[in-house]
């Protein structure tokens, strides 16, 4: 054999050893990684499909991260909304019209209960998850609702609820303290013998505005009484003229509309009496002038009481609505004053009034869009909530206004005012004619978004599993087959090493 042939044989053996070693390294790497190659080029003509499926899996995983956070937000939202609904029901029950029990601190026991409920409600509305305040719309930096003391008493030199209530009350009670009504002096005409022929007085609204009482109607079944009914044009009035003595038991009734819209009314009913000093009665005097004076005094007293009870409760509700109804950027409204007892209009109070809600408050008809979860290529779900939405704000409004009520004088008038305010605040929490609360409506809308998220999550899980299965088929290896191949390669490599060792040790003398 030629020497060149020996050299070529050695080169061939070296090349074979290198090829076997490289193949073994490649197979061992595949066994370690579980993949047929470390680059897309190594998977052959299915690399384009493999690449597309990998991108889809990455998108799904990004959506799944959003879903995980959205689930946490919505689950916490639902828990808080459920508790807020229970608080609403407890608040309605706490405002017992007949439970006027004053404590040593000047509050009623029901007001003390309301404070506890309000504190918890504010805490729930200020809850946050991962830096996102759940009831602040898109705002995720601060508590969206102020603390109770700040709401009631104001902050940073701006007016709180109590000051706003006081100003509205002054404007509705008026300078006469008769609910913006003025009572004329008694006018009596006498005959030639000095005996009264007629005796009359009038009740007049003090101007054309929405404050105080609005005279709606006056009726009477009294004999010897002439009524001048209201015309329905502001400022309105009515007149009462006695031409003789009414009979005991006969009545006069005045119907008064309450501010601001006049949708609710109250009545004053006065009954003629021969003797005694019963409420809502007037004595038949010695002559018609004395009777008219007694009737005028009784009507003045009745107007004062209605102003301090029913009208004050209506005024508080109006003031509370002006203070709390800030949804979608509505400004708080204040009485134009001072003086307030002669005011005729409201003004924008944004610059001087404490904002009880400081979260997202841009103009919108759908606060759910404040917080959007992109959970699929073509599916974006909104679950934003603002604490100043009607259902939630009504709870804070009713409890705060009820707490701010001052019944500390502990008079019969205070008790009537308490009952009137409690009645209105109960209606604020649960308006008449509504089957369910605004909180339930919000909960339902958020639950719909959550259900869609859950369905999408299930779909993503299924698709991701399918995509990964296909990717595994393209990129993966059969470990059992690969292990057999590696054993075979190791055997061949060992045999080649022995053969090469023998060949490499042969000298020219051995060959010859």
- In our burial notation (b when 16+ CB lie closer than 10 A, e otherwise), range 443-463 reads bebbeebbebbeebbeebeee
- 196 lies in some domain: yes
User: What pLDDT does 463 receive?
Assistant: 86
- 3 lies in some domain: no
Residue 486 in this model has a pLDDT that exceeds 70: no
pTM, two decimal places: 0.84
Task: Give the tens place of pLDDT for each residue, 452-473.
Answer: 999 998 998 888 888 777 766 6
250 lies in which domain range?
181-306
Overall average pLDDT of the 106-119 stretch: 96
Residue 6 in this model has a pLDDT that exceeds 70: no
- 281 lies in some domain: yes
| Three-class DSSP category at 62 | helix
Residue 241 in this model has a pLDDT that exceeds 70: yes
User: What pLDDT does 40 receive?
Assistant: 54
> E strands of 148-280, at which residues?
181-183, 187-190, 196-205, 214-220, 225-228, 237-242, 251-257, 265-273
Most confident among 105-114, 429-438, 479-488 (mean pLDDT): 105-114
Residue 443 in this model has a pLDDT that exceeds 80: yes
User: What pLDDT does 511 receive?
Assistant: 38
pLDDT confidence tier of residue 434, bands split at 50, 70 and 90:
confident
Residue 77 in this model has a pLDDT that exceeds 90: yes
User: Which of 412, 406, 202 has its CA nearest to residue 312?
Assistant: 406
pLDDT confidence tier of residue 510, bands split at 50, 70 and 90:
very low
Question: In terms of pLDDT, which residue wins out, 119 or 43?
Answer: 119
Residue 429 in this model has a pLDDT that exceeds 80: yes
- DSSP assignment letter at 174: -
CA distance 142 to 140: 6
User: Which of 65, 73, 69, 67 has its CA nearest to residue 128?
Assistant: 73
pLDDT confidence tier of residue 246, bands split at 50, 70 and 90:
very high
pLDDT confidence tier of residue 418, bands split at 50, 70 and 90:
very high
User: What pLDDT does 508 receive?
Assistant: 43
| Three-class DSSP category at 226 | strand
Cross-strand partners of 136: 386
Residue 498 in this model has a pLDDT that exceeds 70: no
| Mean per-residue pLDDT of the chain | 88
- 59 lies in some domain: no
Q: Could you tell me if 174 and 341 are in contact, meaning their C-beta atoms sit under 8 angstroms apart?
A: yes
- 229 lies in some domain: yes
Task: Give the tens place of pLDDT for each residue, 348-391.
Answer: 999 999 999 999 999 999 999 999 999 998 899 999 999 999 99
- 185 lies in some domain: yes
* Least confident window among 76-80, 432-436, 504-508: 504-508
Could you tell me what percent of the chain has a pLDDT over 90?
A: 70
pLDDT confidence tier of residue 1, bands split at 50, 70 and 90:
very low
Overall average pLDDT of the 54-71 stretch: 87
User: What pLDDT does 391 receive?
Assistant: 93
Residue 419 in this model has a pLDDT that exceeds 60: yes
User: What pLDDT does 386 receive?
Assistant: 97
What separation, in Å, do the N-terminal and C-terminal C-alpha atoms of the chain show?
A: 9
Overall average pLDDT of the 194-212 stretch: 96
- 263 lies in some domain: yes
- 203 lies in some domain: yes
Phi, psi (deg, nearest 5) at residue 392: -80, -45
User: Which of 15, 77, 60, 158 has its CA nearest to residue 442?
Assistant: 77
Reported residue count of the chain is 512
Counted domains in the chain: 1
Task: Give the tens place of pLDDT for each residue, 30-61.
Answer: 555 555 555 555 556 666 676 777 788 888 88
- Taking every pair of Cα atoms in the chain, the longest distance, rounded to a whole number of angstroms, is 176
């Amino acid at each position: 054999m030629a020497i060149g042939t020996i050299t070529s044989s050695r080169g061939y053996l070296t090349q074979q050893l290198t090829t076997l070693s490289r193949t073994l390294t490649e197979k061992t790497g595949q066994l370690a990684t579980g993949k047929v190659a470390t680059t897309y080029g190594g998977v052959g003509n299915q690399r384009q499909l493999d690449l597309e499926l990998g991108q889809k899996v990455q998108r799904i995983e990004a959506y799944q991260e959003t879903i995980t956070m959205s689930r946490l937000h919505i689950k916490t939202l639902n828990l808080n909304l459920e508790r807020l609904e229970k608080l609403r029901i407890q608040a309605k029950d706490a405002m017992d019209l007949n439970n006027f029990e004053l404590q040593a601190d000047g509050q009623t026991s029901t007001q003390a209960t309301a404070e506890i409920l309000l504190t918890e409600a504010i805490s729930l509305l200020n809850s946050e998850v991962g830096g996102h305040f759940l009831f602040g719309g898109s705002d995720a930096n601060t508590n969206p609702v102020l603390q109770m003391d700040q709401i009631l008493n104001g902050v940073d030199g701006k007016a709180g609820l109590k000051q706003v209530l006081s100003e509205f009350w002054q404007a509705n009670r008026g300078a006469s303290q008769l609910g913006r009504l003025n009572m004329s002096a008694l006018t009596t005409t006498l005959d030639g013998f000095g005996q009264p022929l007629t005796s009359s007085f009038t009740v007049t609204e003090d101007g054309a505005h929405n404050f105080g009482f609005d005279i709606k109607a006056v009726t009477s079944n009294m004999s010897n009484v002439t009524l001048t009914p209201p015309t329905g044009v502001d400022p309105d009035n009515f007149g009462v003229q006695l031409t003789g003595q009414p009979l005991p038991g006969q009545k006069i009734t005045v119907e008064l509309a309450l501010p601001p819209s006049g949708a609710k009314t109250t009545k004053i009913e006065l009954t003629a009496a021969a003797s005694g000093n019963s409420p809502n009665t007037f004595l038949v005097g010695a002559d018609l002038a004395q009777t008219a004076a007694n009737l005028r005094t009784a009507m003045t007293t009745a107007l004062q009481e209605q102003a301090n009870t029913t009208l004050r409760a209506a005024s508080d509700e109006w003031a509370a609505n002006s203070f709390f109804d800030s949804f979608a950027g509505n400004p708080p409204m204040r009485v134009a004053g001072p003086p307030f007892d002669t005011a005729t209009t409201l003004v924008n109070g944004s610059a001087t009034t404490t904002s009880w809600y400081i979260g997202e408050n841009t103009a919108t008809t759908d606060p759910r869009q404040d917080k959007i979860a992109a959970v699929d290529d073509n599916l974006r779900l909104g679950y934003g909530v603002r604490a100043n939405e009607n259902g939630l704000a009504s709870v804070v409004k009713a409890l705060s206004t009820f707490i701010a009520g001052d019944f500390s004088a502990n008079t019969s008038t205070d008790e009537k005012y308490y009952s009137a305010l409690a009645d209105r605040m109960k209606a604020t929490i649960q308006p008449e004619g509504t089957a369910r609360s605004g909180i339930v409506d919000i909960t339902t809308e958020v639950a719909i978004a959550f259900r869609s998220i859950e369905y999408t999550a299930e779909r993503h899980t299924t698709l991701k599993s399918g995509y990964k299965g296909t990717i595994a088929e393209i990129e993966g290896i059969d470990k059992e087959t690969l292990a057999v191949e590696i054993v075979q390669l190791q055997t061949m490599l060992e045999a080649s090493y022995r053969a090469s060792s023998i060949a490499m040790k042969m000298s020219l003398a051995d060959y010859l």
